[in-house]
Amino acid sequence: MKTGSIIGLGILALIFVVGASLVFGYIGFGNTANGYENQLTAQLEQNKNVYDNGWKKVREIAQVPDMYADKVKEVFVASIQGRYGDGGAKATFLALKEANPQIDASLYAKVQLVVEQFHDRFEDSQKRLISIKQEYQNFLTATTSGRFYNSLFGGYPKLDLSKFEIVTSNKTETDFNNHKSDELKLR
């Protein structure tokens, strides 16, 4: 074989190896980037799921103390009317000596616990969304292959990442925009 042919084959082999490396590298890059985008979409759906179910649970359980109080009132009124008639007690000192129905405060503690659990679970879900978004952005910008493939061929992110923001309150947004916050007032 001639030297020129060997050099030509060597160059062709080198071009093939470089080309194959670029193609397979981009396939790996694209698969990882698509995986991050799928994770972001799925986590946003999970955030909605946690939020929706949490609020439903809080609303439903918060009705229990009201229903219980209504039932206690109904029993109490029936009990008073049964003892003293529609006109009420003729001897008010009798009502003072009797044990009357009480509203169980543990129901309110249960509502508080459910609210706290809802907040904790939603916070965990939001942290996960933040983490996935950060990992994805790091993959696109902080890795050599991410910057290389994305600048040449990728065009990632394909999703509008601004749609993957966490849920906050108006107060939080105002405080962060103004860089000021007032003390928390419980009453």
Question: What are 143-167's pLDDT values in tens digits?
Answer: 777 888 888 878 899 999 999 999 9
- Using omega within 30 degrees of 0 as the cis cutoff, is the peptide bond preceding 65 cis? no
* Mean pLDDT across 18-27: 84
Whether residue 133 is contained in a domain is answered as yes
CA distance 78 to 110: 28
Q: Provide the pLDDT for residue 129.
A: 96
Question: Does 185 reside within a domain?
Answer: no
**Is 53 inside a domain boundary?**
yes
Q: Indicate whether 32 belongs to any domain.
A: yes
End-to-end CA distance of the chain: 94
- Least Cα distance to 166 among 57, 43, 55 occurs for 43
Length of the chain: 187
How many whole angstroms separate alpha carbon 184 and alpha carbon 123?
20
The answer, yes or no, to whether residue 78 has pLDDT greater than 70, is no
Is 91 among the domain residues?
A: yes
- Whole-number percent of the chain with pLDDT over 70: 80
- Give the range of the structural domain holding residue 145, as residue numbers without chain letter: 3-165
CB 23 within 8 A of CB 142: no
* Domain contains 36: yes
Q: What is the dihedral of CA 69, 71, 77, 80, to 10 degrees?
A: -100
Mean pLDDT (the chain, rounded): 82
The pLDDT tens digits for 111-152 are: 889 889 999 999 999 999 999 999 999 999 877 778 888 888
Task: Taking residues 77-101, report their average pLDDT.
Answer: 58
Tokens representing residue 69 in the block? 């109080």
Count structural domains, the chain. 1
Residue 63 lies in a domain: yes
**Tokens for 151?**
């600048």
- What pLDDT score was predicted for residue 125? 95
User: Is 140 within the bounds of a domain?
Assistant: yes
Instruction: Note the pLDDT tens digit of each residue in 30-71.
Output: 899 999 999 999 999 999 999 999 888 888 887 776 777 777
Distance CA(183)–CA(187), nearest Å, equals: 12
